[in-house]
Structure 1
Amino acid sequence: MAETELAVGPASEGSVQSPKTKPTPEAKSFPLKFTYSNSEDGIDENLLVLLHGLGDTETPFAGLARRLRLPQTATLSLRAPDRIPFFDEDAFQWYRSFDLSGELLERPDPTPALEILDRVIEHLTVKCSWPINRIHLFGFAQGGSVASELALRLWRKKGSDGGSVLSSIASVVSIDGPLLSYPTFKPPCATPAVYFHRSQQGNSAEVAAFQKGFADMRVLKAPVGGGMPKSKEEWSGVIQFWGRVLASRMPDMEGLHPIISGGPTLPTQSSRTSHRRKASLSGTPYRQLAVGNLSSD
């Protein structure tokens, strides 16, 4: 299988270097169930926080995180706080998603989830020594919506009040997870963002909301059908984005330096559930995706 180079930039000038290896979050005081892994190369310069979609758990995305093997990047896969009612197996949601008749809510309120994630960020920055501008968010479907709303929420608290990119989340990637609000604040959030979506519309209201909320915004469009990226072409935009925003603890090197990653396989997921869910939340099954060159040989 072919390999791919992920070019990672050096740490920002003027940033405060944190410990080379970060402590694991404390399970007893951490607000959510989680799976955490230090960086494979022993240098925890970035933290990728993964938020699963509706009806799933943190487990598949912990596997995804391990297979990504992003350089100098620890990973934290979170389980959503609320179990979906009347399901026999593990199926969680970031916020109340269904009405009493079992229909999806048209205007859900993510506030309770955002308040919990505020505490997650506080734990990571205070107890685990993570600078907020080294924390990257990756969310799928409902998890992508919450991740994006969290980035905007933190920017409104810090960035718009005289803050800078050093006091905001490092980046956010939302896979088919639209914003649940329409941002009206100024200046827009400085956090670099990607919105990967599948739509027949050229410039939908969902895209417009992201462009209104984020100053550094990239839209990745894919064919309708399926949820997570499933091919080299669909993954390449996300990987290139991470190559731009991930920091590197190698001050002796100028500019970009290449990190060679092997060829792990990644699961992909339908827009509303994993392969383990019941028919009422069923979708396309997991597919295997090689990320050495982002395609199977």
Structure 2
Amino acid sequence: MKDINVQTPPTAPRNKATPPQQSACHLLFDYKPSSDGIDLNLLILLHGLGDTKTPFSALGPKLNLAQTATIAVQAPQPVPYMEDSYQWFPSFDFLTGNLLPPSNPERMKGMLRTRKWMAELLQHMVSVCGFAPSNIFFFGFSQGGSVALDTVLFGDIPNLGGVVSISGYLLEEQEKEKKVGTGYGGYILVTQGEKDGLVGSKASAEKKFKAIQRFCSPSAETSQIFITNKDHTMAHSEGEWRVIHTFFSKYLARRNIQLENMSDVYLVNP
């Protein structure tokens, strides 16, 4: 018969994360601790092309995710000739005003710069603020969703928790990148409007989603949900938000505070 080793459980982890310091990061952000006082998870919110962090800073607390702090990050580059408008990578031709094609190298140069600064922010959130990489999730719209996917699939911080991308996919140029190790093994949800004229047809969206899956490991859990009567817009219907909240409720970590506070609980090891 094996011996039984009974131990007093280790001290419960701290509830509050150390707030991030803006001076340590290139990217501007608004950080808000969890409303329930337990900063176990971190949700990083990334806006779309031409927006700012302000609407997403307000969105974070409204999501009301248990034990989850939020940080809304602003894209680093102003959109030329537009006030209070930012982009994660160069998107427009200065002369014509048209969107840059995938053949333009400035798009990928900008994405790589953003990837570097996202890694800087994440390293700060992990090493200084105390968040575990597996408890860090992303919520991004359009171009912000592309950055979120880039960060988890190709970034320097491995084993990040997951991504919710609203109508955001990898850049076409990124399909040529090399798979990192065995691939990303976390959780990805992409919601897509059936009438999204920017992404294109349903077949086009499904092809873009398969490009994401090629950089994931067999253990990754990925899903693409099409929303009826929706164009290229942020989530706004009850049905889409239900899908998003179901994703977070399933994959965000949760501490059992009631169990931690019980004085007669012991750790039993064979």
Q: So what's the TM-score if we normalise by structure 1?
A: 0.72
Match of 2:165, SS state, is strand
**Counterparts of 2:234 and 2:184, CA distance in 1:** 25
Letter aligned with residue 213 of structure 1: F
1:235 to 218, 241, 253: 241
Change beyond 3 A, Cα 1:135–1:184: same
Kept in 2: contact 1:195–1:210 (CA 8 A): no
| Correspondence for 2:214 | 212
**Counterparts of 2:184 and 2:56, CA distance in 1:** 26
| Correspondence for 1:273 | none
**Counterparts of 1:90 and 1:197, CA distance in 2:** 27
1:82 to 72, 77, 80: 77
Letter aligned with residue 218 of structure 1: S
Kept in 2: contact 1:35–1:78 (CA 8 A): yes
User: RMSD over aligned Cα, in angstroms?
Assistant: 2.0
**Counterparts of 1:17 and 1:92, CA distance in 2:** 41
Kept in 1: contact 2:167–2:232 (CA 8 A): no
Match of 2:55, SS state, is helix
- Please report how far the alpha carbon of residue 204 of structure 1 lies from its aligned counterpart in structure 2 after TM superposition: 2.8
- Please report how far the alpha carbon of residue 17 of structure 1 lies from its aligned counterpart in structure 2 after TM superposition: 7.3
Kept in 2: contact 1:32–1:79 (CA 8 A): yes
**Counterparts of 2:78 and 2:56, CA distance in 1:** 17
| Correspondence for 1:25 | 20
Q: Where do 1:54-65 residues align within 5 Å? A: 54-65=49-60
Q: Where do 1:44-55 residues align within 5 Å? A: 44-55=39-50
**Counterparts of 1:233 and 1:125, CA distance in 2:** 33
| 1:46-69 deviations in Å (ceiling 9; x for gaps) | 000000001111000011111111
1:245 equivalent to 2:251? Answer yes
| 1:207-233 deviations in Å (ceiling 9; x for gaps) | 211222233101111134241122111
| Correspondence for 1:132 | 133
| Correspondence for 1:153 | 154
- Please report how far the alpha carbon of residue 245 of structure 1 lies from its aligned counterpart in structure 2 after TM superposition: 0.7
Answer 1 or 2: which has greater helix percent: 2
Kept in 2: contact 1:184–1:212 (CA 8 A): no
- For these two proteins, the number of residue pairs brought into alignment is 227
**Counterparts of 1:205 and 1:18, CA distance in 2:** 43
Kept in 1: contact 2:60–2:70 (CA 8 A): yes
Q: Which runs of 5+ in 2 are unaligned?
A: 1-10, 195-200, 260-270
Change beyond 3 A, Cα 1:19–1:30: farther
- Please report how far the alpha carbon of residue 127 of structure 1 lies from its aligned counterpart in structure 2 after TM superposition: 1.3
| Correspondence for 1:40 | 35
Q: Which has the higher contact order (CA 8 A, sep 6+)?
A: 1
Match of 1:147, SS state, is helix
**Counterparts of 1:121 and 1:18, CA distance in 2:** 20
- Please report how far the alpha carbon of residue 240 of structure 1 lies from its aligned counterpart in structure 2 after TM superposition: 0.6
- Work out which of the two has the higher radius of gyration on C-alpha atoms and give 1 or 2: 2
| Correspondence for 2:114 | 113
| Correspondence for 2:197 | none
In percent, how many aligned pairs have the same letter?
A: 33
Q: Which runs of 5+ in 1 are unaligned?
A: 1-15, 159-166, 254-297
- Please report how far the alpha carbon of residue 79 of structure 1 lies from its aligned counterpart in structure 2 after TM superposition: 0.7
